[in-house]
Amino acid sequence: MCAAHLAPKSVLRPHYSREKRKRTADKYVQSQCAYHIYMNRKETTEFLTNLLIATRLSDRKYYAREVTLDYGTVHPKRIDVMEFSPAGVIYASDIEKGIFTCYEVKSCKQDVYSGNGLNFYGEKNYIVTTMETYKAIQDDMRSGKLDKHIMTFMDAPECPEFGIMVAVPASIDLRNTEETYREYENPTPLDTRMDWKLWNICPQQRQWHRERSMSELLFCMLRAKHNGANAI
């Protein structure tokens, strides 16, 4: 598309020559692109994953990306990010009291229902997504449709407990209800160049009972590291 169609009329003076209008429009579009990074679905997923790691997992945390359970079977299960949180690192009893958190990164509502994975096998489980996606699935959360989808996908008798984190500008004071409400009503586009953070907008209500053994999950995290996915 021609830059002149992208620039607002306020920057294009009526008396400008055709060439000057084009130069002015090109300059305007370049200045706008300096503040935005246009993201597709894949880039949104990568942005959210990197944000999760940078803001929640970077400080002495034990985690791995793309952790596969039931590897080599007909139905392998892949978790986007898995974290292990021991009670301590000195005594064996502290390590044995550790808990696992599973994070599934979803770029949009279609991604939530795509069948690519909502694998919640930890004591804590989270969907990491955008504010727009959270708003889009709220009705499904209230009606139980999302729970049924997770149960069907996991072939589980009940839906595991899980929470939702959304990306918001780092400048927002999460204790200020006016600021958070404004962001909820008019979410800041992810392509805006600024500092971001994750808001635990829908906290997990209680710790879930993990059925997989600690040895199995730690081995799967270690294998993810061996495969070069990033890890502990």
What distance separates the 2 farthest-apart alpha carbons in the chain? 79
Among the listed ranges 27-31, 42-46, 163-167, 180-184, which one has the minimum average pLDDT value?
A: 27-31
pTM summary value = 0.81
Name which residue leads in pLDDT, 4 or 183. Answer: 183
Cβ atoms of 131 and 183 within 8 Å: the answer is yes
Rounded Cα gap, residues 190 and 131, in angstroms: 10
C-alpha distance from residue 194 to each of 5, 99, 131, 143, 189 (Å)? 26, 33, 16, 35, 10
Q: Which distant-in-sequence residues (6+ apart) come within 8 Å of 202 by Cβ?
A: 134, 141, 163, 164
Tell me the residue type at 72: G
Contacts of 156 (CB under 8 A, 6+ apart): 150
Over residues 135-150, the pLDDT tens digits come to: 999 999 999 999 999 9
Which residues lie closer than 8 Å to 97 by C-beta, 6 or more apart?
A: 86, 87
Give yes or no for residue 79 having a pLDDT over 90.
yes
In terms of DSSP bridges, do strands 77-85 and 62-69 run parallel, antiparallel, or are they unpaired? antiparallel
Give bridge partners of residue 64 from the DSSP assignment.
82
- Range in 31-40, 78-87, 208-217 the model is least confident about: 31-40
* pLDDT higher than threshold 70 for residue 232: no
Q: What is the pLDDT of residue 32?
A: 41
Encode pLDDT of 142-174 as tens digits.
999 999 999 998 888 899 999 999 999 999 999
**Per-residue pLDDT averaged across 11-17, rounded?**
47
Nearest by Cα to 197 from 231, 175, 165: 165
Residue-range domain boundaries for the chain? 41-226
